[in-house]
């Protein structure tokens, strides 16, 4: 079965727009394949795009101190964040996206831990951007493009 990503993108857009009940409803309608393949790919694409947007300036990646500080601050955002965001995994994921780690650096990360960590970090970074609706639509269009590319 081929996984399409329209429902996954709609769920993520609802989350980023603060429509949490709609997000939960849309996610509950996804099959396990749509969640495990499609939604995971959408989260990874969103993480890639927002991480590069946040941590690359003038073509140069942020330093380790800035990344460590962001991860520590992100873990303090909500009561659950400290349990969801594994700091080592978060730093590996961010540095991997920034090209500061070799291609095999992320292979040792447990898929579930990586997914949970990236999911919450994406939500935090998007919230920090405070996108207008048109900016969020443009961001989601980039996420769509990256996701389609990754699934081919």
Percent of the chain with pLDDT over 70: 98
* pLDDT tens by residue, 63-84: 999 999 999 999 999 889 999 9
Instruction: Give the 3-state secondary structure of the chain.
Output: CCCCCHHHHHHHHHHHCCCHHHHHHHHHCCCHHHHHHHHHHHHHHHHHHHHHHHHEECCEECCHHHHHHHHHHHHCCCCCHHHHCCHHHHHHHHHHHCCCCCHHHHCCCCHHHHHHHHHHHHHHHHHHHCCCHHHHHHHHHHHHHHHHHHHC
pLDDT of amino acid 74: 97
* Residue 89 is assigned to a structural domain of this protein: yes
How far is residue 66's CA from residue 148's CA, in Å, rounded to a whole number?
31
pLDDT of amino acid 130: 95
* Residue 78 is assigned to a structural domain of this protein: yes
* Residue 62 is assigned to a structural domain of this protein: yes
pLDDT of amino acid 1: 41
pLDDT band at residue 3 under the 50/70/90 scheme = low
* Residue 42 is assigned to a structural domain of this protein: yes
* pLDDT tens by residue, 105-130: 888 899 999 999 999 999 999 999 99
pLDDT band at residue 94 under the 50/70/90 scheme = very high
Name the domain count of the chain. 1
pLDDT of amino acid 142: 97
How far is residue 37's CA from residue 61's CA, in Å, rounded to a whole number?
29
Residue 96's domain spans which residues?
6-151
Record the pTM.
0.93
pLDDT band at residue 2 under the 50/70/90 scheme = low
* Residue 1 is assigned to a structural domain of this protein: no
């Amino acid at each position: 079965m081929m996984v399409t990503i329209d429902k996954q993108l709609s769920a993520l857009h609802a989350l980023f727009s603060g429509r949490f009940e709609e997000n939960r409803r849309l996610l509950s309608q996804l099959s396990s394949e749509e969640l495990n393949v499609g939604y995971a790919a959408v989260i990874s694409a969103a993480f890639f795009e927002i991480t590069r947007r946040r941590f690359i300036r003038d073509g140069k990646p942020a330093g380790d101190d800035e990344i460590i500080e962001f991860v520590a601050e992100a873990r303090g955002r909500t009561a659950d964040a400290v349990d969801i965001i594994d700091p080592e995994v978060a730093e590996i994921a961010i540095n991997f996206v920034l090209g500061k780690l070799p291609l095999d650096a992320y292979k040792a990360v447990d898929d579930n831990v990586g997914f949970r960590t990236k999911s919450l970090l994406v939500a935090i970074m998007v919230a920090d951007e405070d996108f207008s609706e048109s900016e969020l639509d443009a961001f989601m269009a980039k996420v769509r493009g990256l996701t389609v590319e990754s699934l081919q």
